[in-house]
Amino acid sequence: MDMRFPFSPAEMAKVHMVQFGILSPDEIRQMSVVEILHSETMEKGKPKPAGLSDPRLGTIDRKMKCETCMASMAECPGHFGHLELAKPMFHIGFLKTVLSIMRCVCFNCSKILADEDDACFKQALKVRNPKNRLKFIYDKCNSKKRCAGGDDIDVQKEHDGCGAQLKSRSGCGAQQPDIKVHGIKMVAEFKAPKGKSDEGEQLPEPVERKQILSAERVLNVLKRISDEDCLLLGLNPKFARPDWMILPPPPVRPSVMMGTSSRSEVK
């Protein structure tokens, strides 16, 4: 036992389960001990309040105690604060996962692109490991260039035993872009389909339209993903919503900044 730390009288308990997840914006604000408003660390030789060395975050001075738990430097575990962002930002740790999810769902309606009647898709749903299930779904959706459904496809409507009409999960029929990551930016490339002229001649290659996707645009797509589709993608919506992988702005007031700290992806 390390004698530098005092003995704890707390009772021992058995760990029955460990659940990993991503901290939601609300959880981050609730766990935060201070909102950071200043970039300066010190003021007149002392830690500046609401700065990066605010005494509520912990202490590195043997003569001072933490203003959150009132413990000394050796006993205080440290606490975190948060920033309020003006606009959403990509989280570099989740950028690849966000890219995979964006390639699996419709850019317009946020529904999964794969056909649910496809045998390979049904096989993918039987994969118990969530991470592997996302990979299988990704393989089925990555090559899709159009969301299923819309005006071009007639969807058969089923009925239950009472004759009530059941809602179909058909998509919107929108064209899907090729989404890529360049550095910390996400780019969507829309390519018009090849066609023929009235005389039957092949038209020249279509011109690609590129647009940089802002974190705000990606956040709106991820927010529309239903809880059912989250489970299909290998994410438990109670612990790891895909929109939590984007650093969001404050929900009410247009403040200056916001940051986040996440535990881990759910597995």
Tens of pLDDT, residues 20-76: 899 999 999 999 999 999 988 888 888 899 998 899 999 888 888 999 999 888 888
- pLDDT for res 202: 53
User: Percent helix, strand, coil in the chain (nearest 5)?
Assistant: 25, 15, 60
Q: In terms of C-beta density within 10 A (0-12 exposed, 13-18 middle, 19 or more buried), how is residue 129 classed?
A: exposed
User: pLDDT digit string (tens) for 162-182?
Assistant: 333 334 456 788 889 999 998
C-alpha distances in angstroms, 214 versus 87, 121, 144, 186, 218?
10, 30, 22, 7, 6
Confidence band of 9 (pLDDT split at 50, 70, 90): confident
Please give the share of the chain, as a percent, with pLDDT higher than 90: 33
- The pTM (predicted TM-score) of the whole model is 0.74
pLDDT at 260 over 50: no
Q: pLDDT of 184-216, one tens digit each?
A: 889 999 876 665 555 555 555 555 688 899 999
Q: Kindly list the domain boundaries of the chain, sorted by start residue.
A: 91-145+177-188+206-246
